[in-house]
Amino acid sequence: MAVFDSNGTEIYYEDIGEGPALLLLHGLTSNHAMFYREIDFFKKNYRIIAPDARGHGNSAKSDSYSLEDHIQDAVALLRHLELESVGIIGVSMGSYTAQGVAIEEPDRVKKLLLVATKSHGVQSSTAELFAKHKEELSGLNPIDKMNKASKYIFHNRRAVGKWLKKTADNSNQLTINEQEIAAQALKGFDFREQLRKVTAETLVISGRHDGLNPPEKGRETAFLIPNATFMEFKRSGHAPNVEQARLFLGIAENFLED
């Protein structure tokens, strides 16, 4: 267990393995434990840095924070560890944070792998999906609402269910109120005018069946980043790294190699 102070907020992170630094940035309401498969796979050849974003996991909770806070926490962690060169894998919310870090630290970020991403949003993708299916989801409590909406989010729901259970069994889960605060942090961000500053070699991966961040949003992100490559996983939704795990790890390994 390791923690550091980011502008008065205690941020928890895992620091595992040896080799080139690889920063793993998790999705909304999750934590570093969601990367158990990636950590086990990459720790043999990489130094894995996997933080819990503020308001998530073992990091400090507060009544409000923003995506910019997540970005500055990640930048502060890289500086705290004195990492001059790093690769980043960011999934969903983590991919937004990753974009911000790559924009702010172009000389430090060498490889950028964005999964289930978008470059801008008025509100969280979950809130947008709930609004789209408002009538169908009306009257449901938050847990039942998410369960019913999962058919629009994931393609291989069996694999995702096992992954979510294992992640939950190995980490602290957020309360409903903490989840709402986390979602509020993603309102109104837009990197479109800044992505041209990214110099990292970039790969964007989207799932064909992703109802939260559809492939067209991933394509747009890739188009805006100089020389980025876009890839669509045909049998995935919002979690390509889980729904087609072996394919993802193989592609990620190849991409991250120098």
Cβ proximity of 175 and 204 under 8 Å: no
Q: Distance (Å, rounded) from C-alpha 103 to C-alpha 201?
A: 13
Q: Distance (Å, rounded) from C-alpha 179 to C-alpha 9?
A: 18
Neighbours of 152 (CB within 10 A): 17
- Going along the chain from its start, the domains and CATH numbers come out as 2-256 (3.40.50.1820)
- The tokens for 257 are 């190699």
Tens of each residue's pLDDT in the chain, 258 residues: 799 999 999 999 999 999 999 999 999 999 999 999 999 999 999 999 999 999 999 999 999 999 999 999 999 999 999 999 999 999 999 999 999 999 999 999 999 999 999 999 998 899 899 999 999 999 998 889 889 999 999 999 999 999 999 999 999 899 999 999 999 999 999 999 999 999 999 999 999 999 999 999 999 999 999 999 999 999 999 999 999 999 999 999 999 997
pTM: 0.96
